[in-house]
Structure formats: C-alpha cells, structure tokens
Structure 1
Amino acid sequence: MLIGLSTPVVVQTPATASSWEAGADIEDIARIAQTADRLGFDYLTCSEHVAVPAADVGVRGAVYWDPLATLGFLAARTKRIRLATSVLVLGYHHPLAIAKRYGTLDRVSGGRLVLGVGVGSLQPEFEMLGAPWGDRGARADDAIRALRASLCEPEPVYHGEFYRFDAMVVEPHAVQARVPIWVGGRSRCSLRRAVELADGWMPFGLRASEVAEMLAAVDVPDGFVVALPTGPVDPRAPSECLKRLRRLREAGATAVTCSLVATSADHYCEQLSALRALAGEL
C-alpha cells in the first residue's frame, strides 16, 4: 500500500489543520517534504481553489496554496517523492493549458507528477471564473480524454465533444510515457469516471464501508489505485493508527493519504518518522 502525505500548511481545512500551520512558512513546508522524501513516503499533495466563498470558509477553510507553484518549489527541494494534485478542478482550465503547465512540472521534477483531477463542487467559484457549471461532469470526461491525448505528446490531436485541437505544438510536455491520472470525488459517477478514463480514484468524505460497497459494484482494472484519506492520525497512539490504516486497506485502499496530528513543524517531522516505522507493520 502506498503511503502518501496530505501536505500540511498548503491546505488548511478546519477538520484536519493544526494550529501551528497558521504561522508556518515555506521553509517549514520544504523541511517536511524533504523529510517525507528521505523516509520513503510515496507522494505528497496540494489542492486547488482559486477563491473560496466566504460562506464556505467555516467548512472548507480559506488557505489553498496554488498547486503548480507549490509543487514546482517542492520538486526542487526533493528527489524521489511523487507530486500529486489533489485535486485540480478540470473546469477551470483548458486541457492544453494543463498539459503545458503540468507537463513542465513533470519535466522539472524528473517524471514525478501524479495528476489528480476533479469535477468541482463550488458553484460560486465556477461563476466567478466564468466556467460552465451545469454540464461540468460531461466536460470533465471530455477533458480527461483530451489530457490523455496531450500530456505526453508534443503535437497532440484530439476531437471531442467540448475540446478539439490539432496542428498545435506543446513543448515542453510530460516526460513520463503515461502520467498517472487519479480522479477525486465522492460519488458513484466519480468512481465510474476513474475506472473508465483514469488510473486511480481518490475519494473524500466517505466512510470506509461506503468505499468498499462502491468498489464492489465495479470491475476495478489491474494496477488501479484507490487512494483513501486517513483523516488526522497520531503515531503516538500506534494501535489506533494501525487500526485505521488496516481498516482502509480492508475497504480497498491501495494508497492512503495521511494527515498527521502535530504541534509544530519539528514535531510533524518526528511524527513522519514514527508513521514510517508503523507502516512497516502493515
């Protein structure tokens, strides 16, 4: 099972963020990423929101660092850990813009990109950006197909329902032969989208039993990644931490995205070491 990290500080939601994160700086983030890299964690994440409606801040939080700038910085400060968007909102971008920007990230990181994508759920944010809302699901399907045709190609060709392009050159492009695409969401439609069009599913806001039930209803391809969030875990309570990780694995997780309880950046790095040791017992 892959062990990933929900990078602290760069996303601060009330349900998972610790108080120390509000005063942290970029060097704290870099040190945490370097520690995770050295310890052998598989990936770290960064989410996307351009602007959160004030009415939703109490639930979603207000802090969302831009994933491209953040992961580009962390690419330069790490060596092997993969860099995952969790998630990029497809409706906010043309597929070729994603292919250029994140293909460049794949290039500068030496092929470490995992492109996590989602349909999006904040209608006011869509409206503020002038992005279509009502047909965003169909547009997302078409965008994923367009991305598959363009991420790793210098002269991509695609003719779909919403996106069409040819006779265009996109350089640089991704260096991986196939950039992993993981689909976020919490619905059966998101799982269908992931199984049919992508390489993995990274749901949120679901109980382990709900995930297991949804996975049992589909034919999951070989090598398909199911990345489940742990919620806040504390390796200082090892039995409870292991219990949660095993429960997620039993529900179908092939990867877990961990959020750690900590009191400072230094303590967070200590918690990473403890979690890495515990993961060896899975």
Structure 2
Amino acid sequence: MRLGVSVPNFGPGTDPDLLCRWAQVAEGLGFDVLMVSDHVVLTPEVAGRYPPPFFEPFTTLAWLAARTSRIRLGTSVLIVPYRHPLLVARMAANLQQLSGGRLVLGVGAGWARQEFDALGVPFERRGRVTDEHLRAMRAAWEDDDDNYRGGCAIPFWVGGGSGAAPRGAAGPGVASAALHAVLAARTAAAAGGDGGRGRMPAARAEAADPAARHRHAGRGAGPARRRGHDRAGRRRPRRTTRARRADGDPRPLPPRPARDAAARARLADAGRGGRAPCLGGVIRGLILLRPPVGLCRKELWVGRLRRTG
C-alpha cells in the first residue's frame, strides 16, 4: 500500500516557505506521493472552497521538485479542459524530466460552472473536451518530438466526482474497475428516475457490483434490500409518534424511561424548597425535560440561589 498527502497550495498564510516545509515533512514521514490542487480563475464559487492565494500547480511542483528527492509529485485533479492539450503535454513532459521521473498526473473534468464561463469553455461539453484533450496529449507523447519526450512514462490518475469524469481516454489501466462501476451505477440510477442522486434499486446495484451477491448471500431469495427501503429500492418515509397517533395506529407507543419520572421528582423537590439536587441533575432536567405544571425555570433558580446564599 502506498500513501499520499494533499498539500494545500492555497489559502491565507500559504507562501513558498510553508509549501517547502510541507513537502519536506511529508517526505520525511515516508509518504509516497505529494499532490496539489488546480484552479485557474478564483470565482466566488471557487474561492468559497479554495480561498486565495492559489499557487499554480505546475509551477509549484517544479519548485518543490528541486527541494525534495524521493517523494512523487502530482496533481490531485488537474482540470483538463482549462488548458490547451499540447501546452499541458509539454509542461508535464518537462516536469517529468526535471523531477527525475516523479510526476503523477491526476486529471478530471471540473465542476465550477463560473470558472468555465470565465475561461470561455463550454461547461456542458467538459466531459467530451476532457477525453479529446487526453487523446491529444497521448498522441503528442508518443511522437518523436523532443519537446514531449518522457511524457509516455507519466502515470494518469482519473479523479473527480462529477458525472463528466473521463472514461477511458487516458489509456488502458488508468481508471480502475471500481471507478467504472461507480459511473455505471450513476448512469443506471439516472435512467431509473431518481434525479441522478446516485441511488438505485438493489437489483441494479447487485448487477453493477457482482460482489453484492456475496455480501447479501443467505438473506433470502430475491434482490438484496437496504434497511429503510422497500423491495423496489425506494426509501420508506419515517413515521413519527405524532403521525402514528393521527393515523390511529393500534401499536402501543414507546414508554417513557423511568429516569424521566425521577428527574421530574427531583426538579419538583428543588422548586418546593426541599434538598437541592446536584448541578448535573438540574442541567439535565432543564435541557432534556419539561418542568412540571406550576414550576418554571426562574422559580427553580431563585430558590437555589436563596438556599445557597
């Protein structure tokens, strides 16, 4: 197993010295990969998650490559549609050579619509544009041009949670089978009419994930059912106590715990001038319980102050 760490190349207080210390600490602790984030235009939508200043990823990684020796360097998600593919291919190939073959290129399609609009990139076509750019980058690296030498050895990591994530354009073996299973599940869920929230009936989940058959083995015939869902995979609405009373549900209501009655008795005793309970009991009673009839919090605390004064 290899572990990586995401170094924040953004936010108040971020400067070259801090980035250098982050990288050296991560390398000293034995992490295998150091990754940074990517955004080009800090629109209000982006700045809410990634506050300025924001250091450009390729420049930052090139600077960190000179201050580290072992740890691999990469982008958590490089938003591919934001840049020309030949520019990315050349910068990545040069960084791969300057870092001694330590670059890992994590790629994604992006999510910030305002940033796409500011760059003049069609947001609705970001998935197709990402696939086209990745193919162009592969073609440039496979050419004999010295400007792109070394790019073929750069590993691709496909990331991101949007529905427009790259689907195989980065080359064979890049996106894992789990990623394709998730994408297939989301597609099936959207086709099933759940609004694209990623939920789907258990039968479809079992078909998309063969391991589900083993997880649900021995639970009876038919497709697997999730708790709180019906046989069709729809979430059952919760029925509160008030709804049960309104519907005339014959089932008995759950009894109140015995400690409620004891706490009410202690509160009533304190309000009538008896022995004051401990502070913890009073606080629990005030927070969790309603005071008995004829007793208010003001009278309770006035009585306590008189006895303790």
TM (normalized to structure 1)?
A: 0.57
Q: Paired residue for 1:7? A: 7
Aligned length: 187
Whether 1:171 aligns to 2:161 is no
- In structure 1, the residue matched to 2:131 is 141
Q: CA RMSD in A?
A: 3.3
1:120 partnered with 2:120: no
189 and 137 in structure 1: CA distance in 2 versus 1, 3 angstrom threshold: closer
Deviation string 1:128-156 (CA, Å, 9 cap, x unpaired) is 112232211111112222222323x353x
Q: 1:52 to 1:121 in 2, by over 3 A?
A: same
Offset of 1:126 from its aligned partner?
Answer: 1.4
**For residue 79 of structure 1, what is the aligned residue in structure 2?**
69
- Answer with 65-74 or 28-37: which moved more: 28-37
Give the counterpart of 2:30 among 23, 26, 40: 40
| Contact 1:46 1:65 (8 Å CA) reproduced | no
C-alpha change, 1:198 and 1:129, in structure 2 (3 Å) is: farther
Shift of 1:184: 1.4
SS in 2 for 1:50: coil
> How much has 1:107 moved relative to structure 2?
0.6
Distance 2:170 2:131 in 1: 12
**Does the C-alpha gap of structure 1 residues 132 and 172 become closer, same or farther in structure 2, counting only changes over 3 Å?**
same
CA–CA distance in 1 between the matches of 2:133 and 2:80? 7
Match for residue 30 of structure 1 among 6, 20, 35: 20
- Percent identity of paired positions between Structure 1 and Structure 2: 40
* The structure with more strand, counted as a fraction of residues: 1
The question of 1:97 aligning with 2:87 is answered yes
Unpaired runs of at least 5, structure 1:
13-21, 156-168, 220-282
Residue 190 in 1 paired to residue 162 in 2? Answer: no
Contact 1:100 1:170 (8 Å CA) reproduced: no
- Three-state SS of the structure 2 residue aligned to 1:34 is helix
* Counterpart code for 2:77: V
CA distance in 1, matches of 2:170, 2:133: 15
Contact 1:145–1:197, Cα closer than 8 Å, also in 2: no
Letter in 1 for 2:84: H
CA distance in 1, matches of 2:51, 2:135: 31
**Which deviations, in whole Å up to 9, do the C-alpha atoms of 1:202-257 show, x marking residues without a partner?**
98xx9xxx8xx99x9479xxxxxxxxxxxxxxxxxxxxxxxxxxxxxxxxxxxxxx
Residues of 2 paired with 1:135 and 1:197: CA distance?
Answer: 23
Question: Any idea what SS the aligned residue of 1:77 has?
Answer: coil
Name the structure, 1 or 2, with higher relative contact order (CA <8 Å, separation 6+): 1
SS of 2:20's equivalent in the other structure is: helix
